[in-house]
Amino acid sequence: MNIREVKIIEVAPRDGFQIIEKFIETEKKLKIIDMLINSGIQKMQVTSFVNPKAVPQMKDAREVVKKSIEKHPDFEWTALVPNYKGAELAIESGIKELSYVISASEAHNMENVRRTVEESFKELKRIREDFKSTKIKLDIATTFGCPFEGDIDINKAIKMIHTGLDMEIDEIFLADTIGVANPKQIKEVIRAVKKEFEEIDFGLHLHDTEGMGLANVYAASQLGINKFESAAGGLGGCPFAPGAAGNVATEDLVNMFNKMGVETNISLAKLLETTDYIKENVKSNLSGHLSNVKRKV
């Protein structure tokens, strides 16, 4: 199945920054956000409303959201929330779309949000019922493997998708939280969920721990998946998943699709200006391939 256009959702300001120990000045975060929008990024997970004691990098979440929305009121913003309180804070700050994460692995879910999967779904149901006008995306973490439980039975994710759809969740992404998936597995999982849910337009959130991120994106695109979350420079990693490395790099994703003739609506040159700024001001050793190569684009 050949796709002609993809939607790339930028997650560097959330997933990318959360793993960086030294606090990034809010103004620098806002500068990076502006540069990403200027490159053509059309949707961004801008922060997460988590307990700052757990993820200190996100202590300025409300300020980042407020100033970002003030400058770009028509942009498509999302924020990650782990619980009802986070949802309240995000919505009060002006966010109209929430990303809510539940792991297919009980062990990882407990490590990540200190809840069982069942408890997380009860919280999600409460959020859905109380914030009916808010768009909610369910991210199913560790779909492709868990640092604590190893391989994950796809039927766990399928059961979770059913539960989410029964709650009228708006969108579902499958996540390779620790970056252990391979193209064969990607195809097997996508075929399984598409067979069960023929009308659902799934998206993917992939990490590049073992260097197969782009290959996994390509495999998914061949089965019609056209929504991918990625991070500029390949920033990222889950603080509660041992061994998790960065996301698939946005610039590498754009470069690959450009060469395949698939439209991204993103300027690679401006995106690389952004990664240059990130290298100088946030993290010098980015894992993205193209951001580390001097070349004409």
Q: What would the mean pLDDT of 268-289 be, rounded to a whole number?
A: 94
Scored b (16 or more CB within 10 A) or e, 67-104 reads bbbeeeeeeebbbbbbbeebbebbbebebebbbbbbbb
- Are 66 and 94 a contacting pair, CB within 8 Å? yes
Asked whether residue 285 is domain-assigned, the answer is: yes
Q: Answer yes or no: is 77 within a domain.
A: yes
2 inside domain: no
Show which residues are catalytic.
238
Compute how many other C-beta atoms are within 10 angstroms of the C-beta atom of residue 242: 10
pLDDT score at 167: 97
Please say if the pLDDT value at position 297 is more than 90. Answer: no
Domain that holds residue 93: 7-292
CA distance 174 to 92: 27
Contact 20, 58 (CB under 8 A): no
Q: What is the mean pLDDT of residues 153-180?
A: 97
Q: Please determine, for residue 22, whether its predicted confidence score (pLDDT) is greater than 70.
A: yes
Asked which of 8-12, 24-28, 178-182, 234-238 is least confident by mean pLDDT, the reply is: 234-238
pLDDT at 87 over 80: yes
Least confident window among 1-10, 140-149, 220-229, 243-252: 243-252
End-to-end Cα separation, the chain, in angstroms: 28
The pLDDT of 249-276, averaged and rounded, is 97
Q: Provide the CATH number for the domain around residue 256.
A: 3.20.20.70
Q: If pLDDT is split at 50, 70 and 90, which confidence band does 189 have?
A: very high
Domain-embedded: residue 16 = yes
pLDDT in tens, 101-129: 999 999 999 998 999 999 999 999 999 99
Question: Does the pLDDT value for residue 240 go beyond 60?
Answer: no
Is residue 221 in a domain?
yes
Residue 242 has pLDDT above 80, yes or no: no
Convert the pLDDT of each residue in 190-232 to its tens digit.
Answer: 999 999 999 999 999 999 999 999 999 999 999 999 999 999 9
When the pLDDT of each residue in the chain is averaged and rounded to a whole number, the result is 94
What is the model's pLDDT at position 295?
55
Element holding 36 (H helix, E strand): helix 26-39
Q: What does the pLDDT read at residue 292? A: 86
Domain count for the chain, please give it. Answer: 1
Give the Cα separation of 10 and 47 in Å (integer).
Answer: 11
Q: Which amino acid is at 273?
A: E
What distance in Å separates the CA atoms of residue 150 and residue 237, rounded to the nearest whole number? 18
**Whether residue 6 has pLDDT greater than 90:** yes
Instruction: Name every residue whose Cβ is closer than 8 Å to that of residue 251 and which is 6 or more positions away in sequence.
Output: 232, 233, 268, 271, 272, 275, 288, 290, 291
Task: State the pLDDT at residue 243.
Answer: 55
Q: Determine phi and psi for 269, rounding to 5 degrees.
A: -60, -45
More confident call, 4 vs 246: 4
